[in-house]
Chain A
């Protein structure tokens, strides 16, 4: 399996522009998570889906952030309009509860820089 695939790896955009981050979870996994990593706040959960349905979006910082999961193999995190304080590494992770295992597998992250 190729693991969780995120694109792009790096994104530089100007303030006010729309940014879309993409994620392909591991085939067969039914939960998908978006995390954000910053120096100030560490790793924080933004939103997660189970069976393509958003379960908890309480970590989404503002209405400028939105996430979708149109099918089991694809998810997007969109920021519109982007601001410099959105600069961070964004991780996507997926998991599938089999027996007692709840391990989450992470993608390599997208480093977003908003200038």
Chain B
């Protein structure tokens, strides 16, 4: 079974600084998808960024980027120029692709605090 581990229950960052959230996963699949979701206090799950395992290039979405290390099964999220609105719970998630059709396995989450 696939597992996703986020080893940082909490992280904090100063506004305008950079922070990196860690995620590791375990799978025997060669083709899969990885995601970072943001959950603010409103509890809405918001997709931040997505990475396809077959792509070697790391995904980037504006201030958000990932460091995808397939051999190490590591998928970290870097937030640059942190903003107060980035404060939320962040979840790393895995999808096996194929017939799983979006079925996600989540990590435990990391609470990110942004200090002004």
Q: List residues of chain A with CB under 8 Å of any chain B CB.
A: 30-31, 33, 35, 42-45, 48, 50, 56, 89, 91, 93-95, 97, 100-106, 108-109, 111
Contact with A along B84-100 (1 / 0, CB 8 A): 00000001000101011
Count chain A CB atoms within 10 A of each CB in B43, B95, B102, B105 and give the residue with the most: B102
B101 and A31: CB pair below 8 A?
A: yes
- The reply to whether A93 and B43 contact each other, CB–CB distance below 8 Å, is no
| A103–B50 touching, CB < 8 Å | yes
Contact between chains at A102 and B109 (CB < 8 Å): no
Write the nearest CB–CB distance from B3 to chain A, whole angstroms.
Answer: 12
- Say yes or no: B102 contacts A33, CB within 8 Å: yes
A91 to B44, CA, bound (A): 9
* Inter-chain contacts of A100 with B (CB < 8 A): 52
Cβ contacts A to B, 7 pairs, < 8 Å: A33-B103, A42-B108, A48-B102, A100-B52, A102-B33, A108-B42, A109-B44
Which B residues lie within 8 Å of A94 (CB)? 102
B 24-66 to A, binary, CB cutoff 8 A, 1 in contact else 0: 0000000001010000001111010010100000000000000
Check if B68 is an interface residue, CB within 8 A of chain A: no
Say whether A104 contacts B102, CB under 8 Å.
Answer: yes
A42 in contact with B109 given A102-B33, A102-B95, A103-B35 (CB within 8 Å): yes
Q: Please provide the 8 A-B residue pairs with the shortest distance between their CB atoms, ordered closest to farther.
A: A95-B102, A106-B45, A31-B101, A104-B102, A43-B106, A102-B102, A42-B108, A102-B95
